[in-house]
């Protein structure tokens, strides 16, 4: 067997080796990833005995380190949107980083259905069970991924070493602009225009017009556009039904004050991150989470926009590293 193996629907690989099949199990299509660090791809059956139609969830494991990290991406976004985190932490040798496409997104099955953020949370638990991740997981949830994480903390708190909540909410009235752009994009035929509309709703104009620190492009807009094209090349288009289902599930999300007290009482260290301009969750929502959970830190990034894992990836990666070290020593 070569250094790269394929096993029962999942594979371990590096960028410099050739995948060789070792079983007669039918191969499932997966994206080709360009990363130099060790990673593994696979599918897990989700929702057996729970969903009307169980589905296959696509996931990736980056790195081979002993510390487990689970990254939950937001509404209608593929796991490729975590690439600034997977390439950073996956290459360190200290972490194994899990990312996945939520139901109806990317390579994961599922389309139109009436579900909510608790169903998302149970999907996450099914995936963690598939991997045998039953304890000491550092979890990071962005936007709707943070909504799912809050529910997961309520359903299975014993699994988690820490929880970072990025640009998310416990529920209530929130901006409709973001979900509206997602849904109205269904009626925009020009793919480049769709992308531009998403960029301008997720990032501030000041940030988009700035020159990147590395000088690789004239503006952050140009650099982000190129990165989004690369990300999209590694995923699959979303159906209209699954897009609307996720938007409705996110807008229906609610975690009560008593639920937040339960999360706080569980003793799981929390980190809350927000920004001063957001079309999906108000800054006050993050302030409320911080107050209720008494988080380790409450960090607000100025003039950046909703997608902090991309726009502030250097600062966020360092913040997460510091937070995980703190949580490991509590």
Q: What digits encode the pLDDT tens for the residues 120-138? A: 899 999 999 999 999 999 9
Q: Write out pLDDT tens, residues 138-168.
A: 999 999 999 999 999 999 999 999 999 999 9
Q: Write out pLDDT tens, residues 250-282.
A: 777 889 999 999 999 999 999 999 999 999 899
Beta-carbon contacts of residue 225 (< 8 Å; ≥ 6 apart): 195, 196, 199
pLDDT at residue 238 above 60?
yes
Domains of the chain: 9-15+34-328 (3.40.50.1820)
Q: How far apart are CA 160 and CA 60, in angstroms?
A: 19
pLDDT at residue 4 above 60?
no
Residue 112's pLDDT band, with cuts at 50, 70 and 90, is low
pTM of the model: 0.89
| Diameter of the chain measured on Cα atoms | 55
pLDDT of residue 272: 98
What percent of the chain is predicted at pLDDT more than 70? 89
Angle between helices 144-155 and 257-265 (to 10 degrees): 60
Of residues 27 and 191, the one with the higher pLDDT is 191
Q: How far apart are CA 319 and CA 308, in angstroms?
A: 12
Q: How far apart are CA 218 and CA 324, in angstroms?
A: 35
pLDDT at residue 17 above 60?
no
């Amino acid at each position: 067997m070569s250094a790269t193996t394929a096993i029962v629907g999942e594979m371990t690989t590096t960028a410099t080796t050739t995948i060789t099949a070792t079983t007669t199990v039918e191969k499932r299509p997966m994206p080709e990833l360009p990363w130099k660090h060790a990673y593994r791809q696979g599918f897990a059956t989700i929702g057996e005995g729970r969903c009307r139609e169980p589905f296959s969830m696509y996931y990736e494991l980056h790195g081979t380190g002993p510390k487990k990290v689970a990254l939950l991406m937001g509404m209608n976004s593929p796991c490729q949107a975590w690439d600034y985190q997977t390439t950073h932490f996956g290459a360190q040798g200290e972490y194994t980083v899990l990312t996945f496409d939520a139901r109806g997104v990317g390579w994961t099955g599922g389309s139109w259905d009436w579900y909510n953020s608790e169903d998302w949370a149970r999907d996450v638990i099914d995936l963690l069970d598939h991997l045998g991740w039953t304890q000491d997981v550092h979890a990071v949830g962005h936007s709707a991924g943070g909504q799912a994480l809050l529910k997961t903390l309520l359903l299975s708190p014993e699994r988690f070493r820490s929880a970072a909540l990025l640009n998310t909410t416990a529920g209530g009235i929130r901006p409709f602009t973001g979900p509206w752009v997602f849904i109205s994009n269904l009626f925009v035929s020009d793919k480049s225009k769709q992308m531009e509309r998403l960029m301008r709703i997720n990032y501030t104009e000041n940030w988009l017009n700035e020159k990147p620190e590395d000088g690789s492009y004239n503006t952050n807009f140009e650099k982000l556009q190129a990165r989004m094209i690369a990300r999209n090349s590694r995923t699959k288009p979303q159906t209209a039904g699954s897009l609307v289902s996720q938007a409705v599930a996110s807008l229906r999300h609610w975690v009560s004050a008593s639920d937040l007290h339960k999360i706080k009482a569980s003793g799981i260290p929390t980190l809350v991150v927000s920004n001063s301009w957001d079309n999906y969750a108000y800054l006050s929502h993050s302030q409320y989470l911080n107050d209720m959970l008494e988080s380790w830190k409450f960090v607000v990034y100025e003039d950046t926009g909703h997608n902090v894992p991309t726009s502030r990836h250097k600062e966020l990666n360092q913040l997460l590293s510091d937070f995980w070290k703190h949580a490991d020593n509590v």
